[in-house]
Amino acid sequence: MGDLGQILVGGITTGSLYALFLLGVLIVFQVSKSINFAYGQVGMIAAFSAWFLYSEQGLPVPLALGVGVLLAVIVNSAIDYAAIRRIPEGRPGLDLVVTLGIFLLITAVMQQLIDANAHTFVSLGADSRAELGGVVVSLNDGIVVGLTVTIIVGAYLLLNRTSLGTSLRASAEDAGIAQAAGVNVRALRTATWAAAGVIAAIVAVLVASRLSVDAFYMTPFLIKAFIAGMIGGLDRFWLPLSVAVALGVYESLTVFILGASAGTPAVFLLIIVVLALVPKRFVNERNEVRA
């Protein structure tokens, strides 16, 4: 029983990280209808440069983290400004190609600037732990789940209790119409991409504190978050985020029960089964128009 509890704690924490990361993907998708393949690397920049700054350059850790977050914001906004915005309409797939290029660029540059090794990160509470009924819970787990819940709920309120959400979705669907209705689409986009940069940085720092940091470590998170997003639908809110948490738990359980090499096939079989069996209205992207 203790083991199962332990797995659940691990699964929920990892799932929360997927969810938080996915939140960043969602808001960007909603405002610019594009997928940023380099999003994980934006977070990586934050964590990896923070590591470099405090460990190699001797900056105080909080300052290093702050600089890292700032870098992520700058880079993410730059991706939008220099690339995504310049993609003409009606070119499906081009966003993937462009951001793939950026993904490769960021990876190579960071590897050149710092190095290609894996490094331990500040533990952020991973070493203060308590045992509850046979389950060991660390402060780090608490921080992860707490931050995730706070940020997601905050984002929900911001998007649904203010006119921001409407403007956001309006801009996403048709920037021209939104502008003609008086929405400052540019400012909205910039703000969203910047906010997504902050979220990426937070997730990347948390992940680094649980695993380690190098130029590649965020890619598995990116893939898992995308998976959750696509199962749940990138144009929804709670469903994909819940799927993200559930994915973390499911993954941990299959690895524990069926063995580690079953993790990958189990996750992907799940995708196929879910997408093949769930009712049609959950499967369709919500842009169906009547005949």
Partner 1 sequence: GCGGSSSGGGSSSAANGCDVKEVGPGVTDSEIKVGTTMPLSGSGAAGGLGTKEGQEAYYAKLNAEGGIQGRKIKPIILDDAYDPSTAQKQMRQLVEKEEILVVSGGEGTPNFLGAVPYLDRKKVPAIAPYAPSDELGGDKNPYVFMATVDYIQEFEILTNYVLKQETPKKMALVGVAGNVGENAKLGMEKALKDKGVELLYVPETPGTTDFTPIATQLKQFNAEHVFLILTNADTGGLLQAMSRIGYTPKTGAWAGMSDDSYIKEFGALSQNMLVALETASLKSENAQVKQFVADFTKQTGKAPSKFNQLGWVQAQLTAEALKRAKGLNRGCVIEALESFSNFETGIVPPVTWGKDDRAGVDAVGIGQIKGTELVVLEETQSLQK
Partner 2 sequence: MTGATITRPRRSAQPPATGRGAGARRILTRVAVFAVIAAVPPLLFDDYWVFMSAQVLAFAVATLGLDILYGRTGQMSLAHASFMGVGAYTTYIVSSYGHGPAIQLGAVVVVALLAALVVAVPTLRLSGLRLALVTLAFGELLAWVIRETTDLTGGTQGASVDPIVIGTWDSSEPLHAYLIALVPAAIATLLAAHLGRTQLGRRMLAVRDTELAAESVGVAVARTKITAFLISAVYAGIAGWLYAAIVGFIAPPDFDLFASVYLFVAVVIGGAGTVLGAWLGAAYIVLVPELFTLAGQPNLYPIVGGALLAVVALLVPDGIVGLGRGLWRRVRGARGGQEGSR
Partner 3 sequence: MLTLDSVKGWYGRTQALFGVDLHVAPGKTVALVGTNGAGKTTTLRAILGAVRTEGSVRVDGEEISAKPTHRRVNDHRIAIVHEGRGLLSQLTVLENLVVGANRAERARIGEVLELFPVLRDRTHQKVSLLSGGQQQMVALGRALLRDPKYLLLDEPGLGLAPVVIDEIYTYIAELCSRGMGVLLVEQSVTRAASVADELVLLRVGAVDRVVDTRDRERVDQLVADAFGVHHS
Q: What stretches of 142-270 adopt beta strand conformation (E)? A: none
Cα–Cα dist 280/285, whole Å: 10
Which among 188, 106, 207 has a CA at the least distance from the CA of 147? 207
101 binds partner 2 (CB under 8 A): yes
212 binds partner 1 (CB under 8 A): yes
Q: Among partner 3, partner 2, partner 1, none, what does residue 198 contact (CB within 5–8 Å per kind)?
A: none
Q: Among partner 2, partner 1, partner 3, none, what does residue 169 contact (CB within 5–8 Å per kind)?
A: partner 3
Interface mask toward partner 3 for 187-226; x: CB under 8 A: ----------------------------------------
Q: Among partner 2, partner 3, partner 1, none, what does residue 231 contact (CB within 5–8 Å per kind)?
A: partner 2
Which residues, listed in sequence order, are joined to residue 137 by a DSSP beta bridge? 130
Among 91, 101, 113, 117, binds partner 1 (CB under 8 A): 117
Which among 223, 218, 222, 217 has a CA at the least distance from the CA of 268? 223
- Tell me the two tokens of residue 159: 């998007």
Compare residues 123 and 160 and give the one whose CB is closer to partner 1: 123
Among 57, 149, 173, 223, binds partner 3 (CB under 8 A): 173
Q: Among partner 3, partner 1, partner 2, none, what does residue 210 contact (CB within 5–8 Å per kind)?
A: partner 1
161 binds partner 2 (CB under 8 A): no
DSSP 119: B
- Applying CB under 8 A, which residues contact partner 3? 163, 166-167, 169-170, 172-174, 176-186, 235, 286-290
